Structure 1
Amino acid sequence: MKETPKIRTVDLKAKLELEVVLEGRERRWDVKVLVDSGANDTFLDKRWADENDVPLIKLGQPVTVLNVNGTPNVAGNIMHVASLIMNYQGHQESVWAQVTMLGMHPLILGYTWL
């Protein structure tokens, strides 16, 4: 059984950010992403996705998301995922991201990315 997605509360003084290029079907975005070893998956900010017309794929079943302390995330269940290409320092890879409200970063790369 797949682990319940968890998003960590971040200490903003001790953060690792990467400047990457994300690619969708017809667009590219230069963004600053957060690498978060406390998150157990890759997450895309819903507001940023909507503002940038990122194509979203509706899930057949909602996915519960928790904060790292076990409390439900205020954004509620994850209803969509997005498929993007991420480019970083000459490396390119496909990224599937669960879509939820994140706040300061458009993308969080969890320990599954590391």
Structure 2
Amino acid sequence: MSEENYLAAGVDKVRLKLVHVAKAEPEAQLERDELEKFPQLLESLRQARDRASAAVYPREFEALNPSPAVAVLSRDDAGKFVELIRRKTGASLYERAVKIAVEGDVFIVAVEYHCG
């Protein structure tokens, strides 16, 4: 789905799904200072890491599919974050998921479509 089609539905908020992955090659490295303007996203990254941690699941289960953490961003903040990802990877989060590294952890990030 294109960004234009997604936003044409009149959304005020954009939901991003985040899943921590143990073994994946990131497409982009993001620094914490780049993400500090998105506090909801930082909190959701922490939640995604916690959900996949060995404290929650034995290590052999970390590669399974934990439920994603969700960051709810304003339309403007989502636009800024999507542009940051586009500059670093050449990909649009409205079109596909992207693997990012933040402080040594790798996450899959994707825009949640309106249907869930």
Q: Same fold (TM over 0.5)?
A: no
Task: For CA contacts below 8 A with separation 6 or more, give which structure has more relative contact order.
Answer: 2
TM-score (norm: length of structure 2): 0.30
TM-score (norm: length of structure 1): 0.31
